[in-house]
Amino acid sequence: MEQEKLDRLLYHGKIHTLKTEGDVVEALGIRAGKIVFVGSSQDALRRFSADEAIDLNGRTVIPGLGDSHMHFNAACQALATVDLSPCRSKADALDRLRKKAQITPKGEWIRGSGFDQSKWEDAPDQLPSRHDLDAVSTEHPIVIKRACLHTAVANTAALQKAGLFQRKAPESGGMIEFEADGLPNGVLREQSIRIFDVLIPNPLADPFTRRACMAEQLKRMASLGMTSMHTYAADVWQYAEDPSDYACLDREGLLPLRVTVYQDDLAKLAKDRAAIPAPSGDPSQKLSVGGYKLFCDGSLGSRSAALYAPYSDDPSTSGMLVQDPGALEEKMFLASRQGVQCAIHAIGDYALDVVLTAIEHTRARLKAAEWSASQIDALPKFRIIHAQLATPGLIRRMQKLPVVLDVQPAFFLTDMHWVHERLGPARMENGYLWRTYMESGLLLTGGSDAPVEPCDPMPAIYSAVTREDFAGRPRGGLQPREKLSVAQALSLFTRNLPYATGTAHLVGTLEVGKFADLAVLDRDLFSIPPREILKVQVERTILAGADTWVRA
């Protein structure tokens, strides 16, 4: 019998197709960027010859990993700031900024990113103030952003440049904190942060710097077994997403992932949709356009996520909505009428209520506008980003709606050390309900919200499976019953992702006819102890049948 010709054949492996849980094959054949065979090694070697045959020697293969929600431009910008994420004390954070000030010409801006005051061992869980940053330097304007991106702290020089010593009303949907004497204390939240994002020069403004930074980050993501990302603009914070940047990288052979770009401006989105074709059956097509990003509230770490009742560790606030519910609904209706998918940030339970009401009203308004039920149901699913807190009543409402929940299991690794105090024991029963969501029939996808958390799927999968910190320690009151199986956790970052964008017929599982996007691992996620998930190494990443990264 004459053998069929393949471009590549992988055999003698443990290949988890994820078509169904436990579906494992030994061999996979690739031709023209697509999978054309899955089955036994014996059958593959008998039927096919290949330009390249790779003996996996028992290694594990999974579908390519992805990130359902990140801010790639913001992650690249963060590389040009003082990284405060490793700091475990206020003293360490200030020392890092001080060292930067020593090598920065006087008068130039200093930016810090990723700080999390809840992890500081030498200070209570309180945000720093302008006075703390003045101790670093009074000759440089300094602005640092919290890891969640929803809070910033500025020193006196930065506040003066922004004109904030002339007391002014905060931006709509924002907050500026003042001291007893009426002077700003340096803390700004939500939309008020914009004033600094406009003032501070964008480190990626230079196209050569931007290209190099993007290429470096994309290469790193490929090394993590990643083959896709959904990246979101946040123009309100000067985090733009320009599809032409990715198109240029692709032409230069420097785009190792499939990229779906979401905008928070409908006019930009319309321009992108006109210029970039919808996903097709061509595995070489890497760039596509997503939907419309909307914000409803802030974050738990900043106590700006909108809750039904005040925070347990700060009864003076219940968080905040960053825009009027009526305005949110109007934007959602306008986008839906154009067939545009809406993706809405909602962390608190009250914010989730507002978002669900807006979705319900949008569908009702379309019906009143004489849209048929089939037309309404054919619209892209609404994406609810984060959904960290949900009452049983809110879950029942979600079950009746066409929604996808974009969750971030890595958040749990950070939040677990303080969220119990933020929410209190009773309300914690409604937090991070991954298994409950799944058992309620809701579709979940996994992301990082990078640069809020690193865009490495393995720690997130570990978090979902164990609900423990990196040392293997659980935290009381954090519902161990909500743990996911390895198959469920892995599906968040593989199988489930394309359902959010309507491309599940192209990617997500390793089946004949789908794109050959996959990762080769040094050990089997399904047979190792959960602690070993953190040690998994990616040996090879393949996109459309071609290597995007190979471990030396």
Q: For every residue of 34-89, which 3-state class applies, written as one string?
A: EEEEEECHHHHHHHEEEEEEEECCCCEEEECEEEEEECHHHHHHHCCCEECCCCCC
d(CA 282, CA 299): 39
Report percent pLDDT > 90 for the chain: 82
Model pLDDT, residue 416: 87
Q: Is residue 477 over pLDDT 70? A: no
Model pLDDT, residue 167: 62
Q: What are phi and psi of 5, to 5 degrees?
A: -100, 135
Predicted confidence band of residue 257 (pLDDT cuts 50, 70, 90): very high
> 14-28, 122-136, 165-179, 446-460: which range is least confident on average?
165-179
Q: Is residue 128 over pLDDT 90? A: yes
Predicted confidence band of residue 469 (pLDDT cuts 50, 70, 90): confident
Predicted confidence band of residue 506 (pLDDT cuts 50, 70, 90): very high
What's the whole-model pTM score?
Answer: 0.89
Predicted confidence band of residue 101 (pLDDT cuts 50, 70, 90): very high
Cα–Cα distances (Å) from 58 to 6, 20, 90, 178, 539, in that order, read 21, 21, 48, 62, 12
Residue 358 in contact with residue 309, Cβ under 8 Å?
no
Residue 116 CA to its chain's centroid (Å): 18
Model pLDDT, residue 281: 93
Q: Is residue 295 over pLDDT 90? A: yes
Model pLDDT, residue 552: 86
Model pLDDT, residue 329: 98
Model pLDDT, residue 170: 65
d(CA 146, CA 99): 19
Report percent pLDDT > 70 for the chain: 98
Model pLDDT, residue 479: 77
Q: Is residue 105 over pLDDT 80? A: yes
Model pLDDT, residue 194: 85
For the segment 120-134, the average pLDDT, to the nearest whole number, is: 90
Quick: pLDDT tens for 322-356. 999 999 999 999 999 999 999 999 999 999 999 99
Q: Is residue 45 over pLDDT 80? A: yes
Question: Number of C-alpha atoms within 13 angstroms, CB side, residue 13?
Answer: 29
Model pLDDT, residue 168: 61
Model pLDDT, residue 165: 82
The alpha carbon dihedral of 155, 161, 163, 169 has a sign of negative
Quick: pLDDT tens for 169-183. 666 778 889 998 888
Predicted confidence band of residue 140 (pLDDT cuts 50, 70, 90): very high
Hey, which bits of 212-303 come out as E strands?
A: 226-232, 258-263, 287-295
Burial of 65 (0-12, 13-18, 19+ CB in 10 A): buried
For the segment 44-65, the average pLDDT, to the nearest whole number, is: 97
For the segment 295-310, the average pLDDT, to the nearest whole number, is: 95
Model pLDDT, residue 153: 95
Query: What is the residue-averaged pLDDT of the chain?
Result: 94
Model pLDDT, residue 204: 85
Model pLDDT, residue 77: 86
For the segment 521-535, the average pLDDT, to the nearest whole number, is: 96
Model pLDDT, residue 388: 97
d(CA 35, CA 38): 8
Model pLDDT, residue 328: 97
Predicted confidence band of residue 150 (pLDDT cuts 50, 70, 90): confident
Model pLDDT, residue 123: 80
